[in-house]
Chains A and B, each alone.
Chain A
């Protein structure tokens, strides 16, 4: 039965249900329980924003706090996966990937291929992404395209509580390494989520809004802003189709191309920097495979080519807005 819970609660519930179902599922990360070795309470934090709170009392042997040694514990999660466990490691912010990137892209991503198919690495790395929390340059990035670039990795970016639960369950059951990107501005967003366990397959985009005039392709938090923009445009008679990619690797090309065939006008919205981004990747896909369908040049709405600024006046400018999405849609719709 479905009831309304938050994105954060949906993630917690997915972890709990998978840990109940499968005793090889481990949760590990900095302060994932919290208070290890300290005089006060255990399960003090449940991760820095409390996403794993409550798992430690249920599974005291399978929720592991770690030293602040990202290379060591992310690598340990990968090694444990290769040795038969299903670890879910939390890397607090995707910005910290630089510290442990080797273990992810040279080890986890390549084992299966380099070892001639004779290895599986069912590890999930949960990590917080995105701007909006005034967290500045090293705690706010949207580095999704870096991971999407790498063969062997799967990259998941849920936009809703329903998707967060179903995609995390799929990530844990999946036999490949998965980078699971949780947008920090979505943790408090609520929505209908079934109590029972369910998995959402990878590579199946979600058409969250039907429309005939223009296609907005996006993922993660930007789905909400795209919907907001589409709602405003609908009042003025412009019907937008909004596609939530859900996973950037694998990518559901068919759903994107089908929609482009219908509308011929496309805006791609991506919170990250513009160069070599998901936005530029989708734009090139459309140029290569749907050029004949296009009635206007594809528009990209992205952050500028700068680090994420601190001051609210600047960060608000940095992040794509519903208004900037509306402007881009008008541009493609009015193009002759």
Chain B
């Protein structure tokens, strides 16, 4: 068991709390009709993005999914700019031209949330290939969902990563549903991780509500990749708290399913109970983080609402690096 310092525990809690607060706020703001387009929320899954990204540097790359806000925050993308992006503002991470499904920041190694299910698998093979040439021990992490686990791109990418012995990690975030379809139905084998052996890599299953379990599995997979040991498939099992998208009535879910998860499984509650009962961190310290995060998200929403929209001339910019 790797030992986390107090500073690391605080960082983990702050990241998970920031993701949760961000998503809860997007949920309530979306309901007021001020946020345009589609949003897909990561609430409930915070331990996965946080547990992996804590092992990553800015020059490590991640590829993300529709449900990308959590990965962005965990990889260091500025939540204030992210919120502005979700509101379609000129001050957003992508200057209002990407939106929730395309938030990216390559300077932080975030290759983009992705509107195409399974789109990130091949891309992360490329980032991992580039890392191999740069010889600085960089890695690429592909987050994908249980839906994407059935896409050819992901299966091809896992094969290629093994064939080329790439420093890549495939993180299957099995949150129970691909849109409205249960992963117990759409995934033909018992576990997505069972597919790892077909691609010549280790397959690991972790409880996605347990930050420490994710952190531990990620530690091993990232170490292996950095040392040239090749790719790993990690299946993170949990359930999302909200619908596929905001506005999803979620009639496919069992009665009381989410309430039960929130009470009994929640990653933030579990984390808090563990570190306060062990005495590593005091409850009031976590309360203070909660307040700081709340203030950050308040400010992010306030600034996003006040920010200017992109100008008409921005419609035509940034299609090409150069185009005569």
Q: Which residues of A contact B (CB under 8 A)?
A: 24, 26, 64, 66-67, 69, 71-85, 87, 102-103, 106-107, 110-120, 151-152, 154, 174-176, 201-204, 250
**Chain B residues with CB under 8 A of A154:** 320, 323
Interchain CB contact (< 8 A) of B116 among A81, A107, A176, A202: A107
Q: In the complex, are the beta carbons of A112 and B122 less than 8 A apart? A: no
**Chain A residues with CB under 8 A of B202:** none
What's the nearest-Cβ distance from chain A to residue B11, in Å? 25
Is B256 an interface residue, CB under 8 A from the partner?
no
Query: Which residue of B is nearest A74, CB measured?
Result: B122
Q: In the complex, are the beta carbons of B156 and A69 less than 8 A apart? A: yes
Q: In the complex, are the beta carbons of A79 and B123 less than 8 A apart? A: yes
Given A82-B106, A114-B104, A118-B104, check contact A175 B156 (CB 8 Å).
no
Interchain CB contact (< 8 A) of A116 among B111, B160, B318, B320: B318
Interchain CB contact (< 8 A) of B97 among A80, A116, A202: A116
What's the nearest-Cβ distance from chain B to residue A13, in Å? 23
- Which segment of B32-40, B124-132, B182-190, B247-255 sits at the interface? B124-132
**Chain B residues with CB under 8 A of A24:** 133
CA A92 to CA B218, docked complex, whole Å: 37
Is B92 an interface residue, CB under 8 A from the partner?
yes
**Chain B residues with CB under 8 A of A120:** 321
**Chain A residues with CB under 8 A of B145:** none
**A72, A85, A117, A175: most-surrounded residue (chain B CB, <10 A):** A72
CA A250 to CA B164, docked complex, whole Å: 35
How does the 8 Å CB contact mask read for B84-124 relative to A, with 1 for contact and 0 for none?
00000000111111100010111100011011100101111
CA A117 to CA B152, docked complex, whole Å: 30
How does the 8 Å CB contact mask read for B280-324 relative to A, with 1 for contact and 0 for none?
000000000000000000000000000000000000011111111
What's the nearest-Cβ distance from chain B to residue A300, in Å? 26
What's the nearest-Cβ distance from chain B to residue A136, in Å? 25
Interchain CB contact (< 8 A) of A118 among B106, B163, B323: B106
Query: Which residue of A is nearest B111, CB measured?
Result: A82
Given A72-B159, A119-B104, check contact A112 B126 (CB 8 Å).
no
30 contacts between A and B (CB under 8 A): A64-B164, A67-B159, A69-B159, A72-B125, A72-B156, A72-B160, A75-B125, A79-B63, A79-B129, A79-B130, A80-B126, A80-B127, A82-B123, A83-B126, A85-B133, A103-B119, A106-B115, A107-B114, A113-B318, A115-B94, A115-B97, A115-B112, A117-B317, A117-B318, A119-B104, A151-B319, A154-B323, A176-B321, A203-B323, A250-B324
Q: In the complex, are the beta carbons of B119 and A102 less than 8 A apart? A: yes
Query: Which residue of B is nearest A106, CB measured?
Result: B116
What's the nearest-Cβ distance from chain A to residue B138, in Å? 9
Q: In the complex, are the beta carbons of B94 and A202 less than 8 A apart? A: no
Q: In the complex, are the beta carbons of A116 and B93 less than 8 A apart? A: yes
Is B260 an interface residue, CB under 8 A from the partner?
no
CA A81 to CA B127, docked complex, whole Å: 8
CA A12 to CA B181, docked complex, whole Å: 49
**Chain B residues with CB under 8 A of A75:** 119, 121-123, 125-126, 153, 157
What's the nearest-Cβ distance from chain B to residue A199, in Å? 13
**Chain A residues with CB under 8 A of B323:** 154, 176, 203, 250
**Chain B residues with CB under 8 A of A119:** 104, 106
Interchain CB contact (< 8 A) of B111 among A76, A79, A87: A79
What's the nearest-Cβ distance from chain B to residue A30, in Å? 12
Query: Which residue of B is nearest A100, CB measured?
Result: B122
CA A201 to CA B115, docked complex, whole Å: 34
**B116, B153, B321, B323: most-surrounded residue (chain A CB, <10 A):** B321
CA A106 to CA B102, docked complex, whole Å: 11
**Chain A residues with CB under 8 A of B317:** 117
Q: In the complex, are the beta carbons of B106 and A71 less than 8 A apart? A: no
Interchain CB contact (< 8 A) of B119 among A76, A84, A107, A117: A107
CA A174 to CA B321, docked complex, whole Å: 8
Q: In the complex, are the beta carbons of B131 and A112 less than 8 A apart? A: no
Is B271 an interface residue, CB under 8 A from the partner?
no
**Chain A residues with CB under 8 A of B318:** 112-113, 116-117
Q: In the complex, are the beta carbons of A175 and B126 less than 8 A apart? A: no
CA A250 to CA B111, docked complex, whole Å: 27
Query: Which residue of A is nearest B160, CB measured?
Result: A72
Interchain CB contact (< 8 A) of B153 among A71, A82, A201: A71
**A76, A102, A202, A250: most-surrounded residue (chain B CB, <10 A):** A76
Q: In the complex, are the beta carbons of A116 and B157 less than 8 A apart? A: no
Q: In the complex, are the beta carbons of A73 and B134 less than 8 A apart? A: no
Q: In the complex, are the beta carbons of B123 and A76 less than 8 A apart? A: yes
What 10 A-B pairs have minimum CB-CB distances, sorted nearest first?
A75-B122, A79-B126, A116-B95, A79-B123, A117-B318, A175-B321, A72-B156, A80-B126, A116-B94, A83-B130
What's the nearest-Cβ distance from chain A to residue B92, in Å? 7
Interface residues of B in 45-71 (CB under 8 A from A): 61, 63
What's the nearest-Cβ distance from chain B to residue A34, in Å? 15
**Chain A residues with CB under 8 A of B157:** 72, 75-76
Given A69-B156, A76-B129, check contact A112 B104 (CB 8 Å).
no
CA A204 to CA B156, docked complex, whole Å: 39
Query: Which residue of B is nearest A102, CB measured?
Result: B116
CA A273 to CA B324, docked complex, whole Å: 27
- 6 more A-B residue pairs beyond the given contacts A79-B126, A114-B112, A118-B104, with a C-beta to C-beta distance below 8 A: A66-B163, A78-B126, A81-B126, A106-B119, A176-B323, A203-B324
What's the nearest-Cβ distance from chain A to residue B195, in Å? 15
**Chain B residues with CB under 8 A of A201:** 324
